Each structure stands twice: as C-alpha cells, then as structure tokens.
A and B are shown apart, each in its own frame.
Chain A
C-alpha cells in the first residue's frame, strides 16, 4: 500500500522535482566534505541543529512571529496596491501621478526601508510590517495597473451594451483578466515579503527567524544559521504551494487547452 502511494506520489513531474532537490543536497554534502564543518555544515548537522531548535522551543514562536510580520505586510501591500493599481489602470491622470511614485519606491533598497522603519517605529513588530508593505506594495500596484489597463475594450463595450450591473462587470470582465497579471506578481511579492520580514527582524531584535539568525551569527554557529535558512525556505514553499498555487489553478481552469498551456 505504502509503496504504491509513494510510487504514485513521485510520478511524472514530481519525480524530476525530487531529483532536483536531491542534486542540491548532494552538492551541499560534497561542499561540506571539501570545506569542513565551519564553512558548510553537512545537511545532517543542519537537521540536528533544526531538531535542537525545535526541542529548545525556539522554532515555533519564531515561525509565528515571522509569519505574522510577513503576512501582515503582504496583506496591507496587496489591499492598497491592488486598489490603487486598479484605479490607476482606469484613470490616466491618477496613473500618471502614481506611476513615478511607485517606480521611486521600487528603487529604494529594501534594507533602507528596514533601517528607516526601525528609526520610525522602534523595535515594535510594526517596523517589520511596514518595511514589508512598502517594499512589496509597488510591485502589486504595478501589476494591478497593467492588468486593469489592458482589459479588452470590446468586452467592456459588450458588457455595457447588455446593461450588465457594475458589480458583475467587475467580477466577470475585469477580475479574471486582472488576476492573470496579479497572481504571478503576488507570488513574487509573497516571496519577497518573507525576505524583507527576516531582514527587519534581524536588525530589530524583536523576535522571529531574523532574530534567531542574528543570535546564531553572534555565536558563530553555522549549523544553526543554516537551520534557520532551511526554515525560511520551507515556509515560503509551503505557503506558495498551499495558497498561491491553488488560487491560481482555480482562477485559470479556463486556460486549459489554450495554445502554450497544459491540456
């Protein structure tokens, strides 16, 4: 039974994905053998360090804090970014006004936002939320603007000609098109949210995975550092697979069979 389950689980694309991960692990192990424990602890040593973090009770609260920081900032960025982007897509003056602002904000290095928000909000959790929101928001804004701007004029005219109510027009004419721009951007924005959140925590020392990383660095504990990195990557993958991917698939069933899409 179990054998059959695993055979099915690792069939097709998954088999290649597993092969890719195995290759990285093999390289990691090889690197460890060449450079030694201090520079690159082995995967096993990292796993042991991860186990120790779990047993010491450091892992759970850190994950919770980082998740809160990343997702709260991401949520604020998504709400404000897509709202303003949606409006800017429909209004030329608003777009002309907001686009340079967004470009400017994208140009500011994320680490600069972290430093500024630490000066403004101190060591409170708000610093991380703010850094994430302001670093990620412009990305969402740009995608929402582009999506709304390129909604098919013919479809809009068609909906108007049949006197379809506004809320249906928004949901059935605008949303599906805008989402094809927005969802990939949200995936990228989410990944960036974790990175910026960890960065902010590292400097603020107010808990979270970043704080753990700072402590591991202070103690020159490479294995523990690697363990934290593994945690961040795992979190990112889990959220991507559990949230973004299903949402994308739900909204894009109609694309099946289009040229260039999977059947």
Chain B
C-alpha cells in the first residue's frame, strides 16, 4: 500500500523546546477520511500542518503521495484586498488556466457553497463569519484537491449549514476519491464523515485511541450517528482523553 496512502511514522514536534506531539503514527488510505479529535491545545492543528507539509516535524516522517493538497484553516485566511471570487481564484493561480477560466471556476464553486453573484463580488470584511468560512471551503474545493486538510472547517457555521457543507465535502471526496484529514472537536461531525477517528491526548500528545466507523458514510443516518456517539462517549479511553479540558 505504500505510495497509495498518507503515512506518518513517529511524528514528534515541539515549539520553543516545549514538546507538543510525541511519536504519532497514522495511515490514511487513498480516498479515506480520517478525523483527528482531542481537547483544545492538544496539538491537532500542528499535526495537520505537518501532515499537509506546511511544517517540518522535529522527528519522524510523512509519506505524502499527493499532488494537489488543499487546506481549510481554522481562520478563513482570506486576502482582505480580494473579493470572494478573487480569493477563490487566487488558489488556482498556479494552474495553467486563463484568468477567465479561473474566475469562472471560482464563481461556480461559490454557488456550490451557497454564495451567489452578489456575495462573490464582496470583500471579506463585507461578509459574515460563516460566509467567509464558506469562501475558504470553496477555495479548497476549487483546486480539485487529491488531499484535503480541514481544520475546524465547519465550526463557525450554524447546524443546518454545517451539515450541508459536510455533505458537499463528502460527495466531492467520494466522487473523486479525495483523501481527507479533518480536525474537529465535534464528535458528531467526525462520526458523520470519517472512516476512522484518532483521539489525541496528553502533553505532549500521543494517540490515545483509534476507532473505525464501519458503515459507509452515505448510509449513516441521524439514528446511527447518535447511537455511535453514545457508544464512543461511553468508552473509557475517549472520556480520559477529554478529561483535562473538562476539569479545567
């Protein structure tokens, strides 16, 4: 399977001498969806940055046989001087596309995330927080990625919209066989989207437990998701992992 999967072995990393990650091993098969869970400050974002190649780990190795990675960051990180359309098109500047093609693709991608002609021409400061988040998602989808890295991508959206965007990512991933790694603190989001859950815990963080979700994601209805969440919440390992934040 080597060369066909995102494989991380023995990842360790620290900031200014403080260790954050300690010996993390992960494998995400091509087309698979992995959710990284854990209490805030557990190093989830750092791990995602290393998996995406934005950060070199202090130790360990990542095999990344992908050509078009795309990020949705925790902050939307939009260029304030570009319109929503310009921001989406910006991600395509490395491609052999004409300006008109780039803008055309940006427009249709914005429509997919529910932003029309009017919003497409607005600057980020003229959009609401949820709209900015959707622009960031459209920007990631526009590059037709083969690897998607989502960092709390749906957290600023209201429930209905979050579900809608999750569906969009899931369909896109299934249609084109995109490999997805998502960081979240929302168990239901993880259960809805992922094939495998990895829970980080401790300081420095290690993998506290791994859970596979058997049923294919398109067959997961609300009842299944609820039952699965109850099952996970009952698990000792997951409760332990989240305990530090619960106690303060």
Q: Using a CB–CB distance below 8 Å, which chain A residues touch chain B?
A: 152, 154-155, 157-165, 168, 172-173, 176, 254, 257-258
Contact = CB atoms under 8 A, between A and B. Distances in A.
21 contacts: A152-B77, A154-B75, A157-B77, A158-B77, A159-B90, A161-B69, A162-B139, A163-B94, A164-B93, A164-B94, A165-B93, A168-B93, A168-B94, A172-B79, A172-B82, A172-B93, A173-B79, A176-B79, A254-B80, A254-B123, A257-B125
A257 B126 contact: yes
Contact of B125 (A159, A163, A165, A258): A258
B71 A165 contact: no
Nearest to A152: B77
A134 B80 CA distance: 35
A163 B145 CA distance: 12
Contacts of B123: 254, 257
A232 B96 CA distance: 51
B79 A155 contact: yes
**Among the interface residues A165, A168, A172, A173, which one has the most CB atoms of the partner chain B within 10 A?**
A172
A155 B94 contact: no
A235 B161 CA distance: 58
B242 interface: no
B81 to A, nearest CB: 4
B32 to A, nearest CB: 21
B156 to A, nearest CB: 16
Interface string B38-53: 0000000000000010
Interface residues of B, number: 21
Nearest to A258: B125
B73 interface: yes
Nearest to B83: A254
Contacts of B126: 257
Contacts of B93: 164-165, 168, 172
B20 interface: no
Interface in B80-131: 80-82, 90-91, 93-94, 123, 125-126
B54 A154 contact: no
A161 B136 CA distance: 13
A21 to B, nearest CB: 34
B94 A172 contact: no
Interface string B61-72: 000000001110
Contacts of A173: 79
Nearest to B122: A257
B180 interface: no
B81 A155 contact: no
Given A162-B90, A165-B94, A176 B75 contact: no
Given A161-B69, A164-B91, A168-B90, 17 more contacts: A152-B77, A154-B77, A155-B79, A158-B71, A159-B90, A162-B71, A162-B91, A162-B143, A165-B93, A168-B94, A172-B79, A172-B82, A172-B90, A254-B81, A254-B123, A257-B125, A258-B125
A37 B109 CA distance: 73
Contacts of B143: 162
Contacts of B81: 176, 254
Closest 9 CB pairs of A and B: A158-B77, A254-B81, A162-B91, A176-B81, A168-B93, A161-B71, A154-B77, A163-B94, A254-B123
Contact of B73 (A158, A172, A254): A158
Nearest to B140: A162
Given A162-B91, A168-B93, A155 B54 contact: no
Nearest to B149: A161
B54 A160 contact: yes
**Among the interface residues A160, A161, A164, A165, which one has the most CB atoms of the partner chain B within 10 A?**
A161
A257 B77 CA distance: 19
Nearest to A257: B126
A219 B38 CA distance: 85
